[in-house]
Amino acid sequence: MKKNLNKLHPNTCRALPEAAEHGTAFYAVIGDPIEHSRSPEIYAPMFGQFGINAVFLKIRVVESELCRIRSIVSERSLSGFAVTMPHKKAIIPLLDGIDETAAECGSVNIVTISNNGSTLIGHNTDGDGLINALRETGAGLSGAQVVILGHGGAANGAAAALLRAGAEIRFVTRDKKNRIDMFSAIKHAETESRLLSSADILINATPIGMHNMNNDCSDYEETSFLNCLKPSCIIADMVYRTNGTKLVQDAVRLGLTAFGGERMLFHQGKLAFKLWTGLEYIPES
């Protein structure tokens, strides 16, 4: 029987302190929407393990305000920040530089800050976070047939890392206007159905399934395309919800191995923490 791997490490549930004290370091995640983000509880035990007095903020930044990112960094005295949808690509020209991984996939999810806030460098840990999460399931990546739903910043980061690991990638995309209909449409497209039937790994890199996305409670009710997958296929959903997304729940119900974005978030967070602090977090259990 396969299982739902959509759980955080047990030590990631402690909240960071609400009130800032003298000497507190501030970190943040920026995006829109941002209320759903679980980044603060992911990073809390990492800072705690090393006795670092830090607060992790969730900052909603709409697209029209992204150009103010340097002002936001200054106003909040940030020591580093994470970037989520929809800014992973748009933030690049606002930075002083990006590392090789971010350049390779054209997407940034982590920004390091130096020189008293004057230098912002973009990085991408999404792909390697996903790779580490997949390897925990026992997935073989070299030669694996991977189907990625979506083609945004998250999808690009995943694809770049998977290609480095020797996987073969195929994308299934829809335009933004029709993204909620993507899952419903897949099973009706002969080419896409063939792709699914040969997939060793299926990755949802779209926002479909995010809680209250566009206030649409019906997003991806249609998951019958999962029946096209072979029993050994592993499903990775980059979206996360407290009890697992419908995609993860339905996949597990069919006996497939599946996990949600929490697992990937945890692994990419460990990499981000090292970029920000130079320290390597090792879970206590």
Position 21: which residue type?
E
All residues at 6 or more sequence positions from 131 whose CB lies less than 8 Å from its CB, including other chains: 141, 161, 162, 165
All residues at 6 or more sequence positions from 241 whose CB lies less than 8 Å from its CB, including other chains: 36, 209, 210, 211, 260
Under 8 Å between Cβ of 141 and 165: yes
* Digit-coded pLDDT (tens) for 233-244: 999 999 888 778
Q: Do domains 25-123 and 127-264 have the same CATH topology?
A: yes
What pLDDT was estimated at residue 213?
A: 44
CATH topology for the 25-123 domain: Rossmann fold (3.40.50)
Q: Where are the beta strands (DSSP E) in the chain?
A: 25-31, 54-60, 78-83, 97-98, 110-114, 119-123, 145-149, 168-172, 201-204, 234-237, 257-259
What pLDDT was estimated at residue 217?
A: 44
Instruction: Give domain 127-264's CATH architecture.
Output: 3-Layer(aba) Sandwich (3.40)
pLDDT digit of tens for each residue in the chain (285 aa)? 444 444 333 333 334 444 445 689 999 999 999 988 899 999 999 999 999 999 999 999 999 999 999 999 999 999 999 999 899 999 999 999 999 999 999 999 999 999 999 999 999 999 999 999 999 999 999 999 999 998 887 888 899 999 999 999 998 876 555 444 455 555 445 467 788 999 999 999 988 876 544 434 445 557 888 999 999 999 999 988 877 889 999 999 999 999 999 999 999 999 999 999 999 999 886
Provide the residue ranges of all domains of the chain, joining segments of one domain with +. 25-123, 127-264
Distance of CA 235 to the CA centre of its chain: 14
Report, as residue numbers or ranges, the catalytic residues. 88
- Name the burial class of residue 10, with classes exposed (0-12), middle (13-18) and buried (19+) by CB atoms within 10 angstroms of its CB: exposed
Length of the chain: 285
Distance CA 91, CA 109 (A): 9
Beta-strand pair 78-83/25-31: parallel
The predicted model scores a pTM of 0.80
- Name the burial class of residue 34, with classes exposed (0-12), middle (13-18) and buried (19+) by CB atoms within 10 angstroms of its CB: middle
What pLDDT was estimated at residue 260?
A: 93
